[in-house]
Amino acid sequence: MIAVSALAFIASNVLHEGLGHGGACLLVGGKPLSLTAVYFDNDSAGLSDLQSRFIAAGGPIVNLITGLAGLIALRGMRGVPGPGRYLMWLITTLGLFMATGYLLFSGVGGIGDLAIVTKGLQPAWLWR
């Protein structure tokens, strides 16, 4: 159970950083610089503000898509016992928590992916 939990967390982070931020970077023509389990960095030279915001939003967007797809997959797995269903449940839960948690985390702390996305948007109280 511990190994399955670790795998779910690793998969969620790779999806967020790699597919989310990395994929968004490639979509807008950016240049990826580094990818770790918890961080993605890109060269933002030549990118517009909107493109940079899109890259920042890529992680939470992929988390939301992963979570919603997981909910659909879990409906089809009813009655399936074992680690496969547990893994799917964890990936789904982590995806939804990461997507929605960023709203609170970035809003209250003014840091994180969605702080970049909402920077300068008015009225500021709505985003904080």
Angle subtended by helix axes 49-76 and 83-109, to nearest 10: 150
pLDDT digits (tens, 9 = 90+) for 59-100: 999 999 999 999 999 999 988 888 999 999 999 999 999 999
- Supply the pTM of this predicted model: 0.89
pLDDT digits (tens, 9 = 90+) for 2-42: 999 999 999 999 999 999 999 999 999 999 999 998 899 99
Output Rg (C-alpha) for the chain, integer angstroms.
Answer: 16
Domain count, the chain: 1
Phi and psi at residue 121, in whole multiples of 5°? -75, 145
Range of the domain at 96: 2-127
Pairing assessment for the beta strands 40-43 and 31-35 based on DSSP bridges? antiparallel
